[in-house]
Each structure stands twice: as structure tokens, then as C-alpha cells.
Amino acid sequence: MTHARSASAEAAVAVAVDTEAVRLPAVGETAAGESNSVLEERARRMRRRLERLIGIAATEGNSLTPLRNGDEIFSAMLDGINSARHTVDMMTFVYWKGDIAQRFADALAERARQGVRVRLLLDGFGSRLIEKEQLDLMERAGVRVAWFRKPLYLSPLKQNHRCHRKVLVVDEETAFTGGVGIAEEWCGDARNPREWRDTHVQVRGPAVDGLAAAFAQNWAECHEELFDERDRFASHVPQGDAVVQVVRGSASFGWQDMQTLFRTVIESAEERIRMATAYFAPDVYFIELLCAAARRGVEVEILLPGPYTDKRVCQLAGQHYYEDLTACGVKIFEYQPTMLHTKVVTVDRTMALVGSTNFNRRSLDHDEEVMLAVLDQTFTAKLDGHFTEDLEHSALITRGRWKRRSIVQRAKEAAVLPIRRFL
């Protein structure tokens, strides 16, 4: 895949760096006069709303470690695989080429040769670029490889519904999820356009079961054997203090859980919403939800890809709404150094959403996704800290300049509207 320069000359005039920085609470800081009990009450209300409206119980006693960019993420994932003694279950949308793809193939094959049950689930479209030699290596070693909905064998109704989940579960005890795929684009530390910016999470505790269920749901569609003697179904012991709800999104007609998740957190926000998403192309309903939050006094900040994006068409679909959003008081930033691929939302310094879901029609309507709804002030503060650091490398979209954008830019935005439901 090539990295497309997404900010055309016509659109460049619409972007300006904000020189009057708004003072934000520091990581871990509490607003004047506000006690921890206020934040705890917010978290309690949010937990009960999500449990009742989605129907999935949150689990207590979890430990979560945010991992930023490929240097941290791939190292932690490979360490997890290399330490496996019983089982490794891995699913990914992207498995392409390069050294990192070989390293994962070698690690999975080595564990399989040592008697560990290793299963690898690849999306039939997203992982089509995987090298045949790597597949052969893994299969010869005993890795059970399955493909999710290969396009050539699908009915037209299923062609557009992909498995976008990224999950790794090791020994039923440790799990990983987030935005990264297995490809060179995610390597490094977002230091230049060749190193993408992304976030993953390491999870220990009862929430691991929710991520294991996400894998099992898609594996069951592709393989006749759902579990075997290697699965221990062991009980979890507390690993930390985080409360986590694991929400799975699946392609369907009508409203679904992932849409309920985003709607609930946006409508519940009292102070601040911070969203970082790789692909921003929601429908008008969710645009109005964000505007309504801003109008009631919530500080809404959205961080999106800037001059480097791998899907310019999707970016244009989102830019169509910049004028409406900025008019409502929503602050939109475009990340400048490289492709921003994160999928993170923080709300009121009390909760965070992190996983595979983008804020676009494809994630919310068409694809298999998984998201962690985390109620933990410390974890949320760390993600807020990352967001603040990313803003230092981002450009603010100012309302006046965007309103005066060129006719060419407007025409490009309008041209992609008929296909925005597929973006």
C-alpha cells in the first residue's frame, strides 16, 4: 500500500494551527472543587447505563496496559506469543508483508512445534497480501489457519461484511486488542510518514473472556472445531482495579450494540469527549449527537488523519461535515507527522473506549468489531495524556478558513457522499 498525500493544495488553506491553546487538565488532575467521589459517581452511572442498554455485564478486577505504536505493541505481542504454554488464538484484518509479518509467522510456528495449540484467523480480504511462504511455514508447523469470508466464495450479501477485529489471546490469561495490523506500516514509533501512529491494549483479568469470545464467534463461522482439550476454561483471579465491558459489533440490518455504545457515551458526557479515529465518516445522526453535546457545554475534540492517510475518499466524506461540526463548537484536529490509525475515545476523565472500531459507517454498520469500554481513571488519564501529546503535532481546523475552502474541495466532498455508507 502506498501512503497518499491527502491534503490537496485547495484544502491546505482550510487548515491552521491553533495558536491560542486551550488550557486542559493535566493527566490525573481533578477540576477545582471536584472530588474523586464525583468521578466515581459518573463511572457508576455510565456502567449501569451500558450494562442495561447493551445487555453485557462489565467485569471487575482487570489490569490494562496501553501500548503506543509498533515498537511497544509488537514487542509485547511477540513476548506474549513466545511465552505461551497452552494456547494462542489470534485474529487480524491485516496481515501483509515484511519483516514483522515474518517474525509473527516464525513465533506462531515455533509455539505450534512445541505443542501449543495455535489458531490464526485471517480476514479473506484484508489479509489477502500475506506471503504464501509464511502460510506454508505456519501450516507445516501445525498452526491452524482459517479464512474469514474469502471474497471468491461469498454471496453478494456478505462481500461487504468483513472481520475487522484484532485480537490475540494467550493461555486464556492475557489478551491484546486495538488498531494494529501485522504489516511494516505499523512498525516504529510514529517518527515519520512510514511509521503509523496507533494504540493497542494488553488486558489481564476477567475481560480476557470477552475478547476470547470475539475470536470464538468468528472462528465458529470458519472452522468445524470450536474448542478442544487444550482449552482449560480456567477461572480468572483479579489482576487490577479496572472495570471493563467488552462490546462486540457484528454486521446486521438495523441498530446494533456498537452504535448503542457510541450513542450512550456521547449522550452521557458532561465535561469532555476526546475522540481519535482513523476513519471518520459517520451518518448525519451521529454528527448531530456530537453537535448536541457541544451545544450543551461539553468540550468535544476530534483527532483525525491529516496530510497522510491511506483512504483519501473516507477523509473527504468526513470533511464534508467539518463546517457543521465547527459551527457547533466541536474542535477538529488533523494529525500531521504520519497516518493516524488509533481508535480511542475518552469521556469525562472517567472512561475510555479502545479497540478496532472507527467512527464511520463501515465499522458501525458493516464489519465485525470489538471495543473495550473501560471505567478506570488511571487508564483514562494515560490515554488522555497520549491525546494531549498528539495534539502538539496536529493542526486545528478553524471554522472561518474551512468555510472559505475552495470550490474544488467542496466538489470532492460532494462526489463521495453517494458511497459514504460503504466507507
For every residue of 211-258, DSSP letters joined together read: HHHHHHHHHHHH-S----TT---PPP----SEEEEEEEE---SS--HH
Whether residue 318 has pLDDT greater than 70? yes
- DSSP letter, residue 19: S
Distance CA 417, CA 422 (A): 10
The answer for residues whose C-beta is within 8 angstroms of residue 330's C-beta and 6 or more apart is 290, 291, 294, 300, 301, 302
pLDDT digits (tens, 9 = 90+) for 295-313: 999 999 999 999 999 989 9
CB atoms inside a 10 Å sphere around CB 376: 20
Instruction: Give me the CATH number covering residue 164.
Output: 3.30.870.10
Q: Which of 263, 401, 395 is nearest to 323 (CA)?
A: 401
- Count Cβ atoms below 10 Å from residue 375 Cβ, excluding itself: 26
How far apart, in whole angstroms, are the C-alpha atoms of residue 328 and residue 295?
Answer: 6
CB-based contact 311:399 (threshold 8 Å): no
Q: How confident is the model at residue 10 (pLDDT cuts 50, 70, 90)?
A: very low
Domain count of the fold of the chain: 1
Residue 30 confidence (pLDDT): 47
**pTM higher than 0.85:** yes
pLDDT of residue 209 exceeding 50, the answer is yes
Could you read off the pLDDT of 81-108 as tens digits, one per residue? 999 999 999 999 999 988 999 999 999 9
Structural domain boundaries, residue 92: 4-422
Q: For 302, what's the count of Cα atoms within 13 Å in the CB-facing half-sphere?
A: 29
Please state the separation of Cα 4 from the chain's center in Å: 21
- Position 14 pLDDT exceeds 50: no
- Mean residue pLDDT across the chain: 88
Q: Mean pLDDT across the stretch 413-420?
A: 76
pLDDT exceeds cutoff 80 at 191:
yes
pLDDT at 340 over 80: yes
- CA nearest to 384, candidates 346, 335, 327: 346
DSSP 8-state secondary structure symbol assigned to residue 13: T
The pLDDT of 134-139, averaged and rounded, is 96
Confidence of residue 396 (pLDDT cuts 50, 70, 90): very high
